[in-house]
């Protein structure tokens, strides 16, 4: 299964902050891979789509919030590869649809809404059985593509940088939601490298248990891995800005200024928080002189339109 991608460029960030810290800073621009199915979303979907195709499923069903990058990408990928798609959306329907859900419908996705109490049961056998009874034989992809197929795809992310980089990086930094991307990256690194994840959820330290569980399950599976053990990894939990999808004026201003200075647009939910955190840590002397950092841009720019729309509505009140 293939998709016509633009090779993700590796872009150096010529920042005074990085210069004073004595650190080389690069961004892997996964956001430029494809107009719709880009960032870490393609890597998390790739082997799920392959399994669905191999098992002759015709319908994909997955989960997400109203501004979900995963819903957006699954709708597009399903349309591109000939799958019917169903998106189970957290909360009640709100009309008119926001830009994310409008796009999903345009791609042929059927939207189904679950109240928040039922949605919390999305990973239980009972809800899975209910969905199978309601929609027939569907291939279920968990929220965010957070399964072993998703991890397998994410082991390939850094490979997109290394052939063009000509050298290895000391630290690979990534925003963290379900931790699937972090796990895949940690499994793909040399032991002397370190993966640093910036949870976008409040009190994100709980993800450590999820990470250990995913690592154990993957390493005990028959799925391929570049190395027998993961590289070291770390969670930096201080840059969530209030929690998932929480955005304030400080983050908006940082994102806008970073884009103006370096030509790299950031999404407010994930990469803006990670980039903010990295720049702040550089000023604190968190990294050593001579370190080489790779910041993974995980895409998700489509969600900015919905967040900016929310800010505009609040401003009018």
Position 313 pLDDT exceeds 80: no
Predicted confidence at residue 216, as pLDDT, reads 96
pLDDT at 174: 98
Where does the pLDDT of residue 123 fall: very low under 50, low under 70, confident under 90, or very high at 90 and above?
confident
- Which residues does 121 contact at the CB level (< 8 Å), separation at least 6? 127
Mean pLDDT of 273-294: 97
Of the pLDDT bands very low, low, confident and very high (cuts 50, 70, 90), residue 15 is very high
Ramachandran assignment for 36, one of left (phi > 0), alpha (psi -120 to 50 degrees), beta (any other): alpha
Average pLDDT over every residue of 33-61: 96
Average pLDDT value for residue range 119-125: 88
Q: What is the pLDDT of residues 57-106, one digit of tens each?
A: 999 999 999 999 999 999 999 999 999 999 999 999 999 999 999 999 99
Whether residue 1 has pLDDT greater than 50: yes
User: Average model confidence (pLDDT) for the chain?
Assistant: 92
Indicate the CATH number for domain 40-145.
Answer: 3.40.50.1100
Confidence (pLDDT) at 166: 45
The reported pLDDT for the residue numbered 164 is 55
22 against 190, higher pLDDT: 22
Compute the distance between CA of residue 90 and CA of residue 120 in angstroms, rounded to an integer.
9
Using alpha carbons, list the distances in angstroms from residue 314 to 99, 194, 309: 17, 40, 9
**Does CATH number 3.40.50.2300 belong to domain 10-35+149-316?**
no
Residue 148 has pLDDT above 50, yes or no: yes
What is the DSSP pairing of strand 10-12 with strand 24-29? Answer: antiparallel
Predicted local confidence at residue 53, as pLDDT: 97
Average pLDDT rounded to a whole number, residues 215-225: 94
Q: What is the pTM of this model?
A: 0.93
Residue span(s) of the chain under CATH 3.40.50.1100 come to 10-35+149-316, 40-145
Whether the per-residue pLDDT at 45 is higher than 60: the answer is: yes
Name the band, by pLDDT with cuts 50, 70 and 90, for residue 168: confident
Q: Which of 2-11, 51-60, 184-193 has the highest mean pLDDT?
A: 51-60
Cβ proximity of 113 and 93 under 8 Å: yes
């Amino acid at each position: 299964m293939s998709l016509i991608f633009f090779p993700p460029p590796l872009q150096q960030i010529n920042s005074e902050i990085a210069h004073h810290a004595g650190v080389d800073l690069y961004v892997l621009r996964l956001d430029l891979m494809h107009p719709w199915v880009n960032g870490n979303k393609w890597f998390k979907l790739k082997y799920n789509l392959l399994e669905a195709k191999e098992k002759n499923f015709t319908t994909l069903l997955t989960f997400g919030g109203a501004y979900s990058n995963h819903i957006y990408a699954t709708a597009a990928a399903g349309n591109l590869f000939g799958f019917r798609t169903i998106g189970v959306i957290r909360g009640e329907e709100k009309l008119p649809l926001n830009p994310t859900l409008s796009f999903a419908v345009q791609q042929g996705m059927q939207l189904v809404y679950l109240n928040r109490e039922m949605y919390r049961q999305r990973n239980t056998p009972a809800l899975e059985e209910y969905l199978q009874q309601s929609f027939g034989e569907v291939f279920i992809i968990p929220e965010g593509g957070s399964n072993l197929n998703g991890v397998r795809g994410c082991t390939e992310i850094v490979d997109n940088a290394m052939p063009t980089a000509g050298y290895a990086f000391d630290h690979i930094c990534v925003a963290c939601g379900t931790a699937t991307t972090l796990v895949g990256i940690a499994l793909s690194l040399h032991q002397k490298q370190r993966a640093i994840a910036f949870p976008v959820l409040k009190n994100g330290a709980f993800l450590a248990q999820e990470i250990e569980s995913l690592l154990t399950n993957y390493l005990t599976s028959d799925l391929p891995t570049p190395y027998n053990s993961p590289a070291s990894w770390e969670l930096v939990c201080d840059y969530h800005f209030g929690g998932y999808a929480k955005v304030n004026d400080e983050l908006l201003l940082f994102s806008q200024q970073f884009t103006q200075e370096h030509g790299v647009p950031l999404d407010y939910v994930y990469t803006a928080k990670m980039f903010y955190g990295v720049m702040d840590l550089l000023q604190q002397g968190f990294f050593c002189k001579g370190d080489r950092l790779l910041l993974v841009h995980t895409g998700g720019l489509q969600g900015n339109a919905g967040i900016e729309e929310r800010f505009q509505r609040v401003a009018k009140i």
